[in-house]
């Protein structure tokens, strides 16, 4: 089934509780555009996964990065826009709102495993019909259990809503190697350091230092997913050495950049 036909089905309230598809951009008749999509929303909840490259997703609450071998979750009805960075193949799953009970109410990135992949690939071969049969219902049940149990990963960057803080946030994202202090940024934005500290904490849930590190991780994932060398990424983000960058990456994700982008497997 072509991607256009799939999206016509998922926007209907009728139809099966689970719709799954796999994609390969190299051979697709309708490849996903590289440019950022228009803002849109779906009636169903959506899971998406890429084998290589990176997807970025933005909502009104912030940005989410989806590197290879992780699962992105987008609850039903959330307004969003998507951009791919060298994303070549993977899969997507759309589930009816009633099947999404117990899943996070916010966008997030989940750890993936081989059982998830096997279930989705099986579901992608089903003939589209209005209702699932008993075997298909069991597949849906197991898949949702796996998604609910999956660990969440810190790949969501909350954006401040205060316009003055947004100026700082956007400048940091554009120039992640800028080493100005909180006091410097506050002066640049016409705010007191105390105000910047208070607003960043209240609007993003993080201190300015924590938010800046998360922003740098976001940019690091973009560059690493595009094949850029670790040393080059470390330099572009303003780290004094490769080891300092790798140490920061390991503290955040529990493993080195190389291992993070390697395929994760579990026994099935």
140-163 tens-digit pLDDT: 999 999 999 999 987 888 888 888
Cβ–Cβ < 8 Å for 80, 39: yes
User: Does 122 score more than 90 pLDDT?
Assistant: yes
CA distance 32 to 143: 25
N- to C-terminal Cα distance for the chain? 28
pLDDT value for 151: 92
Distance between CA atoms of residues 24 and 197, nearest Å: 45
Under CATH, which architecture does the 3-153 domain have?
Answer: Sandwich (2.60)
For the segment 56-65, the average pLDDT, to the nearest whole number, is 83
pLDDT at residue number 11: 72
Give 130-143 pLDDT, tens digit per residue. Answer: 899 999 999 999 99
The CA radius of gyration of the chain, in Å to the nearest whole number, is 20
The dihedral region occupied by 29, where left means phi > 0, alpha psi between -120 and 50, and beta the remainder, is alpha
**What is the sign of the dihedral through the CA atoms of 29, 65, 179 and 242?**
negative
7: tokens are 């999206």
Sketch the domain layout of the chain as residue ranges: 3-153, 159-260
Q: What is the mean pLDDT of the chain?
A: 86
Give the pLDDT band of residue 242 (cuts 50, 70, 90): very high
At the top level of CATH, the class of 159-260 is mainly alpha
Return the DSSP state at 100.
G
3-state secondary structure of 213: helix
């Amino acid at each position: 089934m072509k991607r256009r036909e799939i999206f016509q089905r998922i926007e209907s309230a009728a139809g099966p509780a689970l719709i799954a598809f796999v994609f390969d951009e190299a051979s697709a008749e309708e490849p996903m555009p590289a440019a950022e999509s228009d803002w849109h929303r779906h009636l169903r909840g959506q899971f998406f996964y890429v084998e290589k490259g990176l997807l970025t997703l933005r909502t009104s609450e912030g940005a989410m990065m989806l590197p290879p071998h992780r699962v992105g979750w987008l609850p039903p009805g959330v307004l969003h826009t998507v951009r791919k960075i060298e994303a070549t193949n993977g899969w997507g799953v759309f589930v009816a709102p009633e099947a999404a009970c117990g899943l996070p109410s916010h966008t997030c990135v989940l750890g993936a495993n081989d059982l998830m992949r096997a279930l989705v690939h099986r579901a992608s071969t089903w003939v589209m019909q209005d209702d699932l049969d008993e075997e298909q219902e069991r597949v849906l049940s197991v898949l949702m259990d796996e998604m609910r149990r999956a660990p969440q990963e810190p790949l969501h960057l909350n954006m401040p809503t205060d316009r003055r803080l947004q100026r700082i946030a956007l400048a940091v994202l554009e120039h992640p190697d800028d080493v100005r202090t909180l006091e410097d940024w506050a002066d640049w934005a016409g705010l007191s350091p105390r105000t910047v500290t208070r607003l960043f904490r209240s609007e993003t849930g993080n201190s300015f230092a924590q938010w800046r590190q998360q922003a740098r991780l976001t940019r690091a994932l973009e560059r690493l997913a595009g094949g850029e060398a670790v040393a080059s990424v470390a330099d572009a983000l303003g780290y004094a050495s490769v080891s300092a960058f790798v140490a920061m990456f390991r503290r955040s994700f529990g493993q080195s950049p190389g291992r993070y982008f390697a395929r994760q497997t579990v026994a099935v």
